[in-house]
């Protein structure tokens, strides 16, 4: 891979030759035919930003040509894209950094979007870091808010830093494209509009498998692994240090079972070995936005808060009436989670089963 082009010193004015960069792109993340929902969240967000700038939304779909891939292109329109760049090659069937980076670098250099967005996922962060280097442009990681500064039409990307204690807004002024990865589940899912269509631009990169050094030997899907699907859960019951000891996690699992939800935990519990990392909610764990989040024995440290404050309804249970969690929960109960959790399990159980019989 060639050395990235040479930055021209610190300038804040956009050089003339970069003014032709137009439009907002989302790189759609698909793995084995299924799209990561952050891609559609971003198409919805890109639509809002593009409407401010008066430009088009482009969705880039990469993969091996298949009916599934065509369906994904159609979905991109229904969620708000104006144009879909359909990049197909058998070599792109599985995600690998090298071919994806080469292809994306070429496509960006050809079509010149002013903004390129990706989900802050294992794929998105791997790919964005590589592309931004080959394009020698600015990249802002794991953003939680995007906006446009209209005075210079630049992207203002806001992200938590220092473990969520501070937020900073970052801009890329004299380089194009402006790139950002965005945390999943932070932007809301756009509504589908099945009547929407748009232009398809087909790209055939003509790659050779022999040129790709990394080979995918196999793929072990999580469905076979039985891991917690926390990020997409509608109901989450979460436990913090207030539960005292690992055996008491059972109370949280019992309540989650009655509600048909998942169990989450704070970072200290993972560090103490109560559960695996896949249940951790927060800055270094998962960001969640369920319809109901019950926080049991959680004080509400900023690192946890940034992972769950977008929940529709937060019910907090804590013995300390001054716990920070009560500053941003919607409903609060001051009391001992160890006695309230089983009582809640009973109360919800009764309420839901009575209605089930009546229904």
Piece of 61-69, 197-205, 238-246, 344-352 that binds another protein (CB under 8 A): 344-352
Is there a contact between 174 and 12 (Cβ–Cβ < 8 Å)? yes
Give me the DSSP letters along 272-292.
TTSS-GGGBBSTTSB----SE
Is there a contact between 96 and 152 (Cβ–Cβ < 8 Å)? no
Q: Which of 221, 226, 245, 322 binds another protein (CB under 8 A)?
A: 221
Binding to another protein by residue 334, rule CB under 8 A?
yes
Q: Which of 49, 97, 201, 253 binds another protein (CB under 8 A)?
A: 97
Instruction: List the one residue out of 139, 121, 137 whose CA is nearest residue 184.
Output: 121
Identify residues 250-279 at the interface with another protein (CB under 8 A): 259-260, 270, 277
- What DSSP designation does 234 have? S
Binding to another protein by residue 208, rule CB under 8 A?
no
Question: Would you say 87 or 296 has its CB closer to another protein?
Answer: 296
CA distances from 125 to 179, 257, 319, 345 (A): 11, 34, 39, 40
Tokens of 225: 């692994």
* Shortest spacing between CB 16 and another protein, in angstroms: 17
* Shortest spacing between CB 336 and another protein, in angstroms: 7
Beta bridge partners of 280: 265
Distance, CA of 153 to CA of 57 (rounded, Å): 15
**β-pairing, 331-334 with 314-318?**
parallel
Binding to another protein by residue 98, rule CB under 8 A?
yes
Binding to another protein by residue 246, rule CB under 8 A?
no
At how many degrees (to 10) do helices 97-111 and 122-134 cross?
A: 60
Distance, CA of 191 to CA of 244 (rounded, Å): 42
Q: Which of 15, 52, 90, 162 binds another protein (CB under 8 A)?
A: 162
Question: Would you say 200 or 278 has its CB closer to another protein?
Answer: 278
Question: Would you say 67 or 273 has its CB closer to another protein?
Answer: 273
Which residues does 139 contact at the CB level (< 8 Å), separation at least 6? Answer: 128, 129, 132, 172, 179, 180, 181
Piece of 3-11, 53-61, 76-84, 244-252 that binds another protein (CB under 8 A): 3-11
Piece of 64-72, 191-199, 213-221, 242-250 that binds another protein (CB under 8 A): 213-221
Q: Which of 210, 215, 245, 322 binds another protein (CB under 8 A)?
A: 215
Is there a contact between 308 and 282 (Cβ–Cβ < 8 Å)? yes
* Shortest spacing between CB 42 and another protein, in angstroms: 14
Distance, CA of 121 to CA of 314 (rounded, Å): 25
Binding to another protein by residue 125, rule CB under 8 A?
yes
* Shortest spacing between CB 157 and another protein, in angstroms: 9
Binding to another protein by residue 91, rule CB under 8 A?
no
Question: Would you say 81 or 292 has its CB closer to another protein?
Answer: 292
Piece of 50-58, 155-163, 196-204, 237-245 that binds another protein (CB under 8 A): 155-163
Is there a contact between 87 and 107 (Cβ–Cβ < 8 Å)? yes
Piece of 56-64, 66-74, 132-140, 186-194 that binds another protein (CB under 8 A): 132-140
Piece of 50-58, 72-80, 191-199, 300-308 that binds another protein (CB under 8 A): 300-308
Binding to another protein by residue 217, rule CB under 8 A?
yes
Q: Which of 25, 36, 62, 187 binds another protein (CB under 8 A)?
A: 36
Instruction: List the one residue out of 117, 57, 62, 67 whose CA is nearest residue 87.
Output: 62
* Shortest spacing between CB 254 and another protein, in angstroms: 13
């Amino acid at each position: 891979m060639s050395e990235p082009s040479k930055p021209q010193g610190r300038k804040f004015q956009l050089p003339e030759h970069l003014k032709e960069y137009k439009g907002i792109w989302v790189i759609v993340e698909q793995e084995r035919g299924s799209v990561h929902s952050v891609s559609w969240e971003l198409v919805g967000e890109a639509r809002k930003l593009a409407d401010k700038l008066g430009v088009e939304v482009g969705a880039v779909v990469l993969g091996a040509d298949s009916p599934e891939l065509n369906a994904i292109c159609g979905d991109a329109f229904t969620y708000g894209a104006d144009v879909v760049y359909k990049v197909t090659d058998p070599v792109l069937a599985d995600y690998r950094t090298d071919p994806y980076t080469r292809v994306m670098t070429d496509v960006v250099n050809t079509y010149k979007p002013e903004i390129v967005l990706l989900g802050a996922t294992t794929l998105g962060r791997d790919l964005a870091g590589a592309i931004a280097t080959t394009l020698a442009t600015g990249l802002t990681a794991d953003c939680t808010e995007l906006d446009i500064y209209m005075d210079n039409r630049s992207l203002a990307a806001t992200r938590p830093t220092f473990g969520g204690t501070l937020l900073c807004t970052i801009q890329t002024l004299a380089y194009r494209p402006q790139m950002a990865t965005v945390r999943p589940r932070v932007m809301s899912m756009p509504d589908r509009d099945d009547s929407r269509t748009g232009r398809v631009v087909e790209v055939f990169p003509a790659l050779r498998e022999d040129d790709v050094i990394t080979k995918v030997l196999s793929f072990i899907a999580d469905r076979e692994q039985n891991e917690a699907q926390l990020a997409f859960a509608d109901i989450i019951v979460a436990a913090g240090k207030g539960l005292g000891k690992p055996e008491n996690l059972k109370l949280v699992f019992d309540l989650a079972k009655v509600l048909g939800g998942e169990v989450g935990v704070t970072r200290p519990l993972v560090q103490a070995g109560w559960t695996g990392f896949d249940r951790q909610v927060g800055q270094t764990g998962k960001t969640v936005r369920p319809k109901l989040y019950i926080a049991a024995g959680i004080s509400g440290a900023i690192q946890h808060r940034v992972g769950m404050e977008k929940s529709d309804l937060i019910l907090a249970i804590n013995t300390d009436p001054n716990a920070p969690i009560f500053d941003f929960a919607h409903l609060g109960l001051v009391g001992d989670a160890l006695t309230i959790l089983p009582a809640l399990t009973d109360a919800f159980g009764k309420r839901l089963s009575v209605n089930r019989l009546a229904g």
